[in-house]
Structure 1
Amino acid sequence: MIGMPQGAEWLVILAIVILVFGAAKLPDLARGTGQALRIFKSETKGLRDDDEKDAQSTPPPAPPVTGELPPATPPQQTSPVEDHQTDKHNG
């Protein structure tokens, strides 16, 4: 099984990185990697904060739908209401 590199393996990996990128480019490479990690951490923290705010502000979920409708009440018959008031200006 392959595990994490130990002691001598790290030295071999470092030597390969120096050969590939050159010693002059390593500080720039490390600086760019650090900035990328900081940005990534701040964005993931922002997403977690947004999720916590959403969880606190959202109402509890609606109960599940059972497929049955509540009993319907028949519409009530209403008689038209006649207005017997007289208009003071027309009358």
Structure 2
Amino acid sequence: MGNLGPTELIIIAVVIILLFGAKKMPDMARSLGRSMRIIKAETKGMKQDEQPEGTAQADTTATAATPAPAVTPAPAAPVQLPQAAPAAQSDVEKMQKQIDELQAKLKNDQSAPTQAPKNA
């Protein structure tokens, strides 16, 4: 199983092309590359967390270009996508509007004084 020769690799490539189609192959390769970059950035961040503080400060300048994704609340302004289709862009704007409305509703609910029901 571990020894794949050139003929086996060619057969596997042909089967993949037949299953997914030649049009989707560049998109799949692009998403795989993005995933690999994210994994590398995360593992580099984990290694820095394990290092003592003196050596970690020297490496922070090298990894400042690839920040790790952080969990933050949704931004107030709509996010601009560089190559989004018009329909997809309108969907994004609708979702952003819904997020803004829900955040405003949550703030109103939290700021309103809670009144206990009066039972006589």
TM-score when scaled to structure 2? 0.42
AA aligned opposite 1:8:
T
Q: Secondary structure at the match of 2:28?
A: helix
For 1:5, the equivalent position in structure 2 comes to 4
SS in 2 for 1:48: helix
| Unmatched runs of 5 consecutive residues or more in structure 2 | 56-120
Question: What is the aligned partner in structure 1 of residue 24 from structure 2?
Answer: 25
4+ residue runs over 4 A deviation = none
The structure with more helix, counted as a fraction of residues: 2
1:69 matched to which residue of 2?
none
Q: Does 1:40 align with 2:39?
A: yes
Identity %: 41
C-alpha displacement of 1:41: 0.7
Residue 53 (structure 1) shift: 2.9
Q: How many Å separate the matches in 1 of 2:24 and 2:49? A: 38
Please give the root-mean-square deviation of Cα atoms over the aligned residues, in Å: 1.5
If asked which structure has higher relative contact order (CA below 8 Å, sep 6+), I would say 2
d(CA) in 2 for partners of 1:8, 1:42? 35
Deviation of 1:3 after TM superposition, in Å, equals 1.5
- Separation of aligned partners in 1, 2:44 and 2:12: 31
Quote the Cα distance in structure 2 between the aligned partners of 1:16 and 1:53: 48
Structure number with greater Rg is 1
Aligned residues: 54
